[in-house]
Amino acid sequence: MKNLLILILSFSSLGCVTGYNPRYYFNEVQVVNLTTAEIEDVQVSIPGTSTSLFCDEVAKNAICDDRYGRRAFPQQGIELSWIHPNDSRKSGLFTPAIPVTFNASFPLRIVLEVNADGVVNAFFEQDEPSREGNSLFNS
């Protein structure tokens, strides 16, 4: 019994040492305007990729988005800049955490919500795979 316990502890510590570091991909970027007015000159770029998004204007409660082919997410951050309703230029570099419950096989959607006070909520979303669309044996 003692040997079994030592063996289990050895394997569990080995898993922690090697670290699980899956490679995630994204295929969409969204900027959501939750301010009280239109935002302008919205620019998103992801360092380490050729991905960028530009929108002249994003109306109140509207979305500026674009889809891309499957691209590796470099985990170096997401740059966002825009002109806030008070005519000041806002910008920031955001590095949201990827939830461990996400499946690395399916692409992520990068979502940047611009709030009325200029604070940005940056996070990832992932569509759940459909049972019909991802089965190897569809009838």
Task: Please give the pLDDT value at position 23.
Answer: 87
List the domains of the chain with CATH numbers.
22-125 (2.60.40.2890)
pLDDT in tens, 76-90: 889 999 998 888 999
- Give me the residues paired with residue 68 across strands: none
C-beta neighbour count of 118 within 10 angstroms: 15
Q: Give the list of residues 6+ apart from residue 72 with CB closer than 8 angstroms, or none.
A: 23, 24, 25, 49
Q: Give the list of residues 6+ apart from residue 23 with CB closer than 8 angstroms, or none.
A: 72, 104
pLDDT in tens, 97-124: 998 889 998 999 999 999 998 899 999 9
Task: Please give the pLDDT value at position 5.
Answer: 60
pLDDT at 131 exceeding the cut of 80:
no
Name the burial class of residue 94, with classes exposed (0-12), middle (13-18) and buried (19+) by CB atoms within 10 angstroms of its CB. middle
pTM to 2 decimal places: 0.77
Task: Please give the pLDDT value at position 135.
Answer: 42
pLDDT band for position 35 (cuts 50, 70, 90): very high
